[in-house]
């Protein structure tokens, strides 16, 4: 769960937090860039600088009429974008060529956000950025800025959340119940308002490589921070805040992990028993995977729960869900097929099988959701060290089934779960029960709920 986290703020800072990875499949990118060398502006399109200068001036004039009201800005920005959408008015290949060949560009930040970020218009009150995404998946987050974003190319799964019953443990950590209130498929041409603060908690999973978004946004909205990241289902943390001592302790634990120090688990356990909730939670977050490898995770987690009692009630589920989501994010490093990436996006973001079926039906209206999932599963099954695997679900070793017979058993078990709403384990054979447990305990869990 070591996502790269950045803070929203001035132009030289970063809008939100992201999992970054190397591109798994750049064939789409190669095709996308194949026309960059063509110097002719495509019919019906305008040059990048003239388009975004006009958009920026339009937003500025209208916002000034609203006395630069932050409350008015998101809808004002959305309307201005939709009146002349970038997806219909800017040729991306020509935009890239213009940016590469023309020095007369707005000030470019040193931001690590986007892959990359291009600043297309800059004013002291707001700016316009063009964000390319190859493998970026945002954490669930809120913003310290407002505005609107537009899907210029590609598509994304967009989820919005409420954080109910929230309680601040420290200024940098809150506990509560994260509830999904809406999830939708954003296709090219969609524009979505962004409201700063806790009223707009959302995440994006980019489906296509590359995806390109245009964001019209303020630099910083006072009083709307911290820009929390949300770890479902129960924790919100400020991704920017970290005291120097905690940072160095994590780094030192990294050294001990690298050299396979025999006292690693004991040292972490002693820290967790003595630290406050916030720092203890951060240590658990950092050390969880290593402790699981060592077989010491349950003992250290129990020590944390004993120390903090009711306050720690939601921590085990939060850490387990974080591990599941990171596992899915890592799979994107190696999966380039658009259908498979869509499947991963659903598994990460959609909590229930019926809703997954609905999304598949929307994107593939002529196909059965069950048969579509089974088709993806057949394509994703691979040989592992001790048997076949489906994503992060391994065929149970204790069943002692030859590898050549495992494929059909995996598919049959998955079909049974998809077709049977009850999934009643007492009606399953020993083999089916073992495979059912392996699949439902993996990133495929939403298919069993």
If asked whether residues 72 and 199 sit together in one domain, one would say: yes
Region of poorest pLDDT, from 84-98, 330-344, 357-371: 330-344
Q: What share of the chain is helix, strand, coil (3-state, %, to 5)?
A: 45, 20, 35
What's the pLDDT tens digit per position in 113-145?
778 999 999 999 999 999 998 876 778 999 999
- Mean pLDDT value across the chain: 86
The pLDDT of residue 47 is 52
pLDDT band at 33, cuts 50/70/90? very low
* Residue numbers of the domain that contains 163: 18-234
Q: Radius of gyration (Cα) for the chain, nearest Å?
A: 24
Element (H, E) at 327: helix 315-331
Residue 99: inside a domain: yes
Neighbours of 449 (CB within 10 A): 12
The pLDDT of residue 425 is 53
Report d(CA 279, CA 94) in Å as an integer. Answer: 49
Report d(CA 147, CA 160) in Å as an integer. Answer: 16
Examine the fold and report which residue of 313, 333, 350 is the final residue of a domain before the chain moves on.
313
pLDDT of 359 above 70: yes
Inter-CA distances, 379 with 128, 207, 389, 412, 435, Å = 41, 18, 11, 15, 18
If asked whether residues 179 and 214 sit together in one domain, one would say: yes
If asked whether residues 193 and 248 sit together in one domain, one would say: no
Residue 208: inside a domain: yes
Degrees to nearest 5, angle at CA 366 with 364 and 367: 70
Report d(CA 221, CA 71) in Å as an integer. Answer: 10
The pLDDT of residue 110 is 80
If asked whether residues 251 and 222 sit together in one domain, one would say: no
If asked whether residues 167 and 254 sit together in one domain, one would say: no
If asked whether residues 304 and 395 sit together in one domain, one would say: no
What's the pLDDT tens digit per position in 362-414?
889 999 999 999 999 999 999 988 899 999 999 998 888 899 999 999 999 99
If asked whether residues 306 and 380 sit together in one domain, one would say: no
The pLDDT of residue 424 is 53
Report d(CA 5, CA 17) in Å as an integer. Answer: 4
If asked whether residues 100 and 213 sit together in one domain, one would say: yes
If asked whether residues 137 and 257 sit together in one domain, one would say: no
The most confident of 19-23, 32-36, 337-341, by mean pLDDT: 337-341
Residue 2: inside a domain: no
Handedness of CA 39, 215, 17, 313 (dihedral sign): negative
The pLDDT of residue 326 is 87
Question: Is residue 66 helix, strand or coil?
Answer: coil
Place of tokens 């077989």: 295
Residue 7: inside a domain: no
If asked whether residues 261 and 202 sit together in one domain, one would say: no
Report d(CA 319, CA 399) in Å as an integer. Answer: 29
The pLDDT of residue 5 is 32
If asked whether residues 228 and 253 sit together in one domain, one would say: no
Strand partners, 179: 162
What's the pLDDT tens digit per position in 251-267?
999 999 999 999 999 99
Region of poorest pLDDT, from 24-28, 73-77, 301-305, 437-441: 24-28
Report d(CA 385, CA 99) in Å as an integer. Answer: 48
- Residue 146 tokens read as 């407002």
Inter-CA distances, 187 with 157, 191, 261, 266, 394, Å = 9, 10, 49, 50, 34
Angle between helices 353-363 and 369-380 (to 10 degrees): 90
The pLDDT of residue 195 is 96
Q: List, as one string, the DSSP characters of 388-403.
A: EEETTEEPPGGG---H
- Indicate the number of domains in the chain: 3
Element (H, E) at 143: strand 140-143
**Burial 310-322, CB ≥16 within 10 A → b, else e:** eebebbbebbebb
């Amino acid at each position: 769960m070591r996502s790269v986290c950045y803070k929203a703020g001035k132009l030289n800072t970063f809008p939100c937090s992201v999992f970054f990875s190397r591109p798994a499949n750049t064939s789409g990118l190669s095709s996308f860039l194949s026309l960059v060398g063509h110097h002719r502006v495509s019919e019906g399109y305008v040059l990048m600088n003239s388009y975004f200068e006009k958009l920026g001036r339009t937003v500025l004039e209208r916002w000034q009429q609203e006395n630069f009201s932050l409350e008015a800005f998101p809808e004002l920005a959305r309307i201005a974008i939709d009146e002349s959408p970038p997806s219909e008015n800017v040729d991306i290949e020509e935009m890239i060529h213009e940016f590469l060949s023309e020095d007369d560009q707005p000030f470019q930040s040193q931001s690590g956000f986007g892959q990359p970020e291009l600043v297309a218009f800059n004013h002291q009150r707001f700016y316009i950025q063009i964000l390319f995404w190859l493998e970026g998946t945002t954490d669930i987050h809120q913003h310290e800025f407002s505005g609107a974003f537009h899907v210029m190319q590609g598509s994304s799964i967009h989820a919005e959340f409420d954080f109910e019953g929230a309680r601040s443990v420290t200024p940098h950590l809150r506990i509560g119940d994260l509830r999904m209130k809406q999830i939708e498929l954003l296709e090219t041409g969609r524009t979505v308002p962004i409201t700063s603060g806790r009223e707009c908690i959302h995440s994006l999973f980019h489906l296509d490589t590359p995806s390109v978004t245009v964001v019209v946004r303020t630099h910083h909205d006072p009083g709307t921070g911290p820009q929390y990241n949300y770890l479902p289902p129960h924790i919100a943390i400020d991704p920017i805040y970290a005291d120097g001592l905690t940072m160095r302790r994590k780094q030192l634990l990294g050294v001990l992990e690298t050299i396979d120090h025999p006292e690693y688990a004991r040292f972490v356990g002693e820290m967790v028993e003595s630290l406050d909730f916030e720092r203890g939670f951060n240590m658990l977050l950092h050390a969880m995977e290593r402790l699981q490898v060592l077989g010491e995770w349950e003992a250290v987690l129990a020590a944390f729960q004993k120390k903090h009692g009711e306050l720690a009630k939601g921590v085990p589920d939060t850490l387990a869900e974080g591990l599941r989501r990171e596992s899915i994010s890592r799979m994107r490093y190696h999966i380039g097929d658009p259908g498979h990436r869509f499947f991963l996006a659903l598994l990460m973001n959609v909590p229930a099988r019926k809703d997954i079926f609905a999304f598949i039906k929307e994107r593939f209206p002529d196909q059965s959701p069950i048969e579509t999932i089974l088709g993806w599963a057949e394509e994703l099954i691979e040989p592992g060290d001790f048997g076949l695997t489906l994503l992060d679900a391994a065929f149970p070793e204790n069943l002692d089934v030859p590898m050549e017979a495992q494929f059909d058993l995996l598919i049959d078990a998955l079909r049974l779960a998809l077709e049977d709403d009850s999934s009643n384990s007492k009606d399953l054979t020993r083999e089916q029960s073992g495979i059912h447990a392996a699949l439902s305990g993996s990133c495929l869990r939403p298919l069993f709920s």
